[in-house]
Amino acid sequence: MQMTSQGEALWQLASRSLLAHFAELCEGAILVDADANVVWMNGRYPERLGITDVASVIGRPIEEIIPHSLMRTVVKNDRPIMVDIMDFGAESFVVSRLPLHDESGAVVGGVGFMLYDDPTHLASVVSRYQRLRNELAEAERKLAAARRTKYTFSDFVGFGPACTELKQAARRAAQAGSSVLILGETGTGKELLAHAIHAASPRAGGAFVAVNIAAVPETLLEAEFFGVAPGAYTGADRRGREGKFKLANGGTLFLDEIGDMSLTLQAKLLRTLQEREFEPVGSNRLESVDVRIIAATSRDLEKMVREGSFRADLYYRLNVIRLETPSLRQRPDDIPLLAETLVDAICRRQGLPSRCVGSSAVERLRRHDWPGNVRELSNVLERALLMSDSNLLEAADLERVMPAATAAPEPPPPAAPGGIAGAVALAERRAILDALEKSRGNKAQAARALGISRAALYEKIAALGVHTDSA
C-alpha cells in the first residue's frame, strides 16, 4: 500500500491510538503474546471475569484464565474473529479478537475486546441476520420446489385401453435411464407425462428442468442451454449465468417442442448428449453433466428427417424409448371422468362452489372432435362454468361456448351375453339407469347410491353400453 509521508505518520498515529480508544470504550480488553500467554488486561476485564488478583494471571496460558477463549486460534492462524459470543461460566460476552503484527508482518500476539457484557445488545443485528437467512432459505426452498415435478401418473386421467397401455409403458420407461421421445397432438398431456416419468424414476430427487424451445428466441437458445461465462460479451452478467443443462445435472431435462430446434443447435445438443459435457458461451472450459433427456413434439419427426430439417443422428439419440399420447378422439370413454376431474380442479382454482357435469353435457362433449384435446376441453369447461350459476353443468351451458356439433349416429349398445352373466349385466344396467334417473344424471350421487366409486361407475357405463341421455 503506497501513501505519502504525512499519510504514513497519520496511519501510525491511528494504529497507536486505536488500542487505547477501544480499551477505554469497551467493557474490557486483553493482550496475549505469540504463545497465547496473557500479558495485559485493562482494569475492567478482570472485574467482568471475577479475577481479584490480576498479577496472578499474567504470563499464564489464556485457556487457564478463559477456558473457551479462541485467542490461541487467532494468533496461530493469523485470522481475526470480528464478532463472537464467548461463554464464561453462566455469563456470555460479545467479543472481538485481532492478531497483532510487528514491523516485518510477523504475528507477535493478539488483542481481545469485550464489546458488550450482554449479547442482547446485538439483538437487532442478530434479528436482521436471522431474517435474511430465513428469506434466503425460503427463496432456496421455492426454487427447489419449482425444480421438482408437479404431476405423477395419477394425474394422467384415463382408464381406457389407450391410456392404460400408455401409462404402463411410461412406468417401464421411468425405471430406465435412456432418452424418451414423447409424440402426440397438442394438448394431449406430453409435459404431464414427462413430469410423471421423472417423479417415478431413480432421478426423482434431482431437478426437473423444462425448456419450451418454441418459446425461446433462436439467438438465446444456446445460452439458455449451456449458460454464459462471466463477462462473455458486452452486457453479460459479470457473475455468469448457469444454463439449463447445469441446473438439471443429476436430474431430468425436458425439451418441449424439440421439432422447432434449428439444425445448428441440434448439432451442439447431439455432441452434449454423446460426450456428456458442454462448454458455456464465452468459455474455453468443458463442464461434465449427467442428465436424462425427455423430448416431446407434436411434429412428425420422421418426415422432418426425410426432408432434412431434423438431424437423423439426433433423432436416433432421442428416440430410444418412444411414447405416443392418444388424442381425445381416440379415448371417448375417458371424457366423462376427465370432465368431472377438470371441473373439480377449475372450481378449486377459481374459488367456485363445487359443480357437477350432467349427462346431457357429457353427451355434448362426446359429439365434439376436440382438435385441441384436453387443453381445449379444459378451456370449454372453464368458460361454461364462469357463465353459469347452476350447480349442474348441462348441454345448454356448453352450447354457448362450443361450435355447432356434428351429428353422429349413436352406436348400438353391445349385446348382453346369455345365461347368468347376461342376467347379471342386465341387472347392473337397470340399476345404473335407475340411479342416474333418481340423481338427475349426477354421476357422483349415482355412484354413492350404488355403493361404488365414480371411476367404477364410468367403467360400467362404458362396458355395458349405458346411454346416459336415457336416464
d(Cα 390, Cα 386) in Å, to the nearest integer?
Answer: 10
Place of cell 362404458: 462
Does residue 288 belong to any structural domain of this protein? Answer: yes
Does residue 86 belong to any structural domain of this protein? Answer: yes
Place of cell 453479460: 236
d(Cα 243, Cα 225) in Å, to the nearest integer?
Answer: 5
Instruction: Report the chain's terminal Cα–Cα distance, integer Å.
Output: 93
Same domain, 46 and 105: yes
pLDDT at 408: 45
Q: Count the domains in the chain.
A: 4
User: Rounded to whole angstroms, what are the CA distances from 321 to 62, 135, 257?
Assistant: 69, 42, 17
The kind and range of the H/E element at 135 are helix 123-146
Residue type, 159: F
Does residue 316 belong to any structural domain of this protein? Answer: yes
In sequence order, the β-bridge partners of residue 356 are 392
The parent domain of residue 24 ranges over 11-122
How many residues belong to the chain?
471
Same domain, 170 and 289: yes
Same domain, 255 and 316: yes
Would you say the pTM of this structure is higher than 0.75?
A: no
Express each pLDDT in 147-205 by its tens digit.
566 788 988 988 888 899 999 999 999 999 899 999 999 999 999 999 999 999 999 98
Does residue 180 belong to any structural domain of this protein? Answer: yes
Helix axes 454-464, 419-438, angle to 10 degrees: 120
pLDDT at 471: 40
Same domain, 192 and 101: no
* Phi, then psi, of 340 in degrees rounded to 5: -60, -45
Same domain, 180 and 321: yes
Q: Which of 279, 306, 278 is nearest to 293 (CA)?
A: 278
Of 68, 103, 122, which closes a domain? Answer: 122
User: Rounded to whole angstroms, what are the CA distances from 386 to 341, 381, 391, 428, 444?
Assistant: 16, 9, 12, 36, 21
Q: Which of 390, 385, 382, 392 is nearest to 445 (CA)?
A: 392
pLDDT at 374: 93
Q: Is the dihedral angle over the CA atoms 343, 348, 350, 353 positive or is it negative?
A: positive
> Burial code of 394-404, b = ≥16 C-beta within 10 A, e = fewer?
bbebbeebbee
| Residue 340 · residue 444 · CB < 8 Å | yes
Of 399, 428, 455, which closes a domain? Answer: 399
Same domain, 164 and 114: no
Which CATH number belongs to the domain containing residue 68 in this structure? 3.30.450.20
pLDDT at 145: 55
Of 366, 399, 432, which closes a domain? Answer: 399
Which CATH number belongs to the domain containing residue 359 in this structure? 1.10.8.60
Q: Which of 422, 409, 389 is nearest to 467 (CA)?
A: 409
- Burial degree of 40 (CB within 10 A; 0-12, 13-18, 19+): middle
pLDDT at 470: 41
| Residue 173 · residue 180 · CB < 8 Å | yes
Which CATH number belongs to the domain containing residue 263 in this structure? 3.40.50.300
What parts of the chain have a pLDDT lower than 70?
1-25, 43, 116-130, 133, 137, 139-149, 231-239, 404-423, 465-471
Which CATH number belongs to the domain containing residue 459 in this structure? 1.10.10
In sequence order, the β-bridge partners of residue 100 are 109
Does residue 237 belong to any structural domain of this protein? Answer: no
pLDDT at 1: 46
Same domain, 317 and 338: no
Same domain, 377 and 322: no
Same domain, 303 and 338: no
Same domain, 309 and 355: no
343 CB contacts (<8 Å, ≥6 apart)?
A: 355, 356, 357, 381, 385, 393
Does residue 465 belong to any structural domain of this protein? Answer: yes
* Residue 187: DSSP 8-state: T
pLDDT at 135: 75
Same domain, 384 and 440: no
Q: Which of 362, 275, 366 is nearest to 317 (CA)?
A: 275
Does residue 147 belong to any structural domain of this protein? Answer: no
Same domain, 250 and 380: no
Does residue 413 belong to any structural domain of this protein? Answer: no
